[in-house]
Chain A
Amino acid sequence: MRIVIIDDSGLRATVLEEGLREAGYDDIHIVPPRGAFVARLERMAPDVVLMDLGSPSRDTLEEMLTVSRALARPIAMFVDQSDEAMIGAAIDAGVSAYVVDGLRKERVKPVLELAVRRFNAFAKIQSELDEARTALSDRKIIDRAKSILMNQRNLSEQDAYALLRSSAMNQGKKIVDVAQALITASDLLGGGL
């Protein structure tokens, strides 16, 4: 079974491809939805095409599936229209799947289920990455507030941090919010740094 993954995000495609390979599928191709990707896809004659539901290029892909004379058999979305739970899970996970006509649904279903799991896993990684990024920028903000305190009030780094922390506790706020307020105030007052 030839599976083509149309995806812009290198990481998501990799996460999906790895999963499919582990499950024993080996005829897998990744095509980014840019330039003449439709012509490439036509030449590949895939059995299953997996694509991010959020990709703006879905209209382009569907048009190709409608008019292509190169593809031997028509390709339609999802394999079993009656399996509403499956379709619901796929849409929630952001997976759209196009399957060639005649491919038995028992053969396709595991692919789709795997894609749903991997898309969900990717979404989790993505949100963890976002959290990590936020944490990193939080730390930068706190560092800057600390150095303002160290300069203006002649505190050691440790004391500056302790002061931020106790202020946050007294006001029932997060340290990063107190730090941000301090930076804003300092900027307004022309304290610079």
Chain B
Amino acid sequence: MTTGLKIAFLPLTDAAVLVAAREQGFAEEEGLALDLVRTTSWATLRDRLVFGQVHAAHMLAPLAVAVTLGLSQQAAPLAAPYKLNVNGNMLVMASGFAAALDPDLAARLADPLGTAHDFAAAIGLWRRKPVIGVVHRFSSHAIMLRYWLASAGVDPDRDVVLRVLPPSLTVEAIRAGEIDGFIAGEPWGSAAVDAGLAETVAIGERIWRRGVEKVLAFREPWLEGNPDTVDRLLRALVRAAAWCDDPGNHPALAVLLADPRYVDQPADCILRALSGQIIARTGQPPISSPDFMLFSREATPFPWRSQALWIYSQLVRWNMVAHDAATVAKAGAVFRPDIFRRALAGSNVPMPGASMKLEGAVHMPLAVGSRQGELTLGPDHFFDGRVFDPERIDDFLASFTPSR
């Protein structure tokens, strides 16, 4: 018997695994009929999930933590047993602003620390505080932007204006001069570059080599009450993710995503994030960034609890939540490696033995213990060299005090 599942998503390239699961038959093989509900704001995606209009959602990982902690309207315990991708964000700034940065685009993207300092200097040259669009306060993008700006001594709450707007409105807003740049998931940065309005200033993958991005979020009680359906969905998604990571499938995937029911942007623009060929300024040759957006390899879908706690540490850092032991536990429990293990036991999907790891400690591909299959972790370091130890959150937070 086929089970119908409604899943809300935003028009973004990293909805790819859900789209492929539906369009390439992976969901059907597991007896699931996916109804993908296109949504244009994170608030509405959150409400559809929290109030039960959909079973699951393509959600910003920090938003899933924030909703669980009661920081974003109605509090509700959410559970994320699956990461839909890592990386995939891009910061673009209006050409006028970017003129003050390194004109060598490849060098600019390869050196986030140098570019952050150039950016700090550019703020002084700009006629007013630059207005930077972020898609949500509880987005990986906003957290990454804050982390990056602060490394150069820029206070994101004082020295720039962060304006919230959904990804699909970013290009129009920069055109209208309402914002001077924005950080968003693809293809929106590339769309602004193609429109001749902006240049790439930084890519997420260079700020944190393996940055947590979207998760598949459920209401926790529903997840607990429907183990069979959840497991089938996760198995379908793992296969869809492997299909999405295969370079041979990227052109077909870009065409699928370009459909008006999904991202509704040109396929060639969408393809760049998938294939890691980033055009940083219109008319320039692409810059290769092979890890720009990952879906499958290196056990990308595995929801490391340490990653939920890294997000939590940043919410504390920016005074968005009070720091105490109970909140730490609640935040960490949003990511559900136990469910991932249950769903994929007995498959050949690489399965980490641990649920937490140091974040930012891997500089070279590293073979690690796996309960099944073979697992190699890719480099996951932060551009500033910090390492996050989930057992020592206080020390990590204390390390930021001087720059704040």
Binds A, one of B47-55, B101-109, B211-219: B47-55
Contacting chain B: which of A42-50, A56-64, A116-124, A147-155?
A56-64
> CB-CB contacts of A54-90 with B at 8 A, as 1s and 0s?
1111111111001000000000111001001001100
- Bound CA span A17–B163, Å: 29
Who on chain B is nearest to A63 by CB? B164
* Residues in B neighbouring A84, C-beta threshold 8 A: 51
Total A-B residue contacts, Cβ distance less than 8 Å: 61
Contacting residues, chain B, for A55 (C-beta < 8 A): 40-41
Interface status of A53 (Cβ within 8 A of chain B): yes
Chain A CB within 8 A of B74 CB: yes
Interface size on B, residues (CB 8 A): 24
* Contact residues, B36-76 vs A (CB, 8 A): 40-44, 47-48, 51-53, 72-74
Among residues 227 to 278 in chain B, which have CB atoms less than 8 Å away from a CB atom of chain A? Answer: none
Docked complex Cα distance between A99 and B169 (Å): 26
Bound Cα distance A137, B216 (Å): 42
CA distance A60 to B42 in the complex (A): 10
- Report the separation of the CA atoms of residues A58 and B41 in the bound assembly, to the nearest whole angstrom: 6
Residue of A nearest to B44 (CB): A53
Which B residues are CB-close (under 8 A) to A31?
none
B169 near A87 with CB under 8 A, answer no
Given contacts A35-B178, A87-B51, A91-B53, contact A78 B74 (CB under 8 A): yes
Closest to B48 in A: A91
Residues of A within 8 A of B166 (CB): 56-57, 59-60
Cβ contact of A59, chosen from B51, B164, B178, cutoff 8 A:
B164
How many residues of chain A are within 8 Å of chain B by beta carbon?
Answer: 23
**C-alpha gap A96/B50 in the complex (Å):** 14
CB distance from B135 to the nearest CB of A (A): 7
Shortest CB-to-CB span from B111 to chain A, Å, is 31
* A59:B43 contact, CB within 8 angstroms: yes
A167-B48 Cα distance, complex, nearest whole Å: 47
At the interface, yes or no: B175 with Cβ under 8 Å from chain A? no
Chain B residues with Cβ under 8 A from A57's Cβ? 41, 165-166, 169
Query: Who on chain A is nearest to B178 by CB?
Result: A35
Task: Determine if A59 and B135 form an interchain contact, defined as CB atoms under 8 angstroms apart.
Answer: yes
Contacts of B42 in A (CB 8 A): 59
A91/B74 contact (C-beta < 8 A), A58-B41, A59-B43, A66-B137 known = no
- Contact partners of B135 in chain A: CB under 8 A: 59
Cross-interface CB contact of A56 among B52, B72, B136, B169, cutoff 8 Å? B169
In the complex, the chain B residue whose C-beta lies closest to that of A94 is: B44
The CA-CA distance from A176 to B178 in the complex, in Å, is 47
Q: Residues of B contacting A63 with CB < 8 Å?
A: 136-137, 163-164
Evaluate contact between A96 and B40: CB separation under 8 angstroms.
no
- The answer to whether B43 and A91 touch across the interface, beta carbons within 8 angstroms, is no
A94 to B85, CA, bound (A): 30
| B-side contacts of A35, CB under 8 Å | 176, 178
Q: How far is the CA of A78 from the CA of B51 in the complex (A)?
A: 12
Residues in A with CB closer than 8 Å to B52 are 88
Interface flags for A28-54 (1: CB within 8 Å of B; 0: not) read 000000010000000000000000011
A-B contact pairs, 15 of them (CB 8 A): A53-B44, A54-B40, A54-B44, A56-B166, A56-B168, A56-B169, A57-B166, A59-B41, A59-B136, A59-B166, A61-B43, A63-B136, A63-B137, A96-B43, A96-B44
Q: A58-B43, A60-B164 are in contact. List 9 more A-B contacts (CB 8 A).
A: A35-B178, A56-B166, A59-B41, A59-B164, A63-B136, A63-B164, A78-B74, A84-B51, A91-B53
Taking beta carbons and an 8 Å cutoff, which residues of B are in contact with A? Answer: 40-44, 47-48, 51-53, 72-74, 135-137, 163-166, 168-169, 176, 178
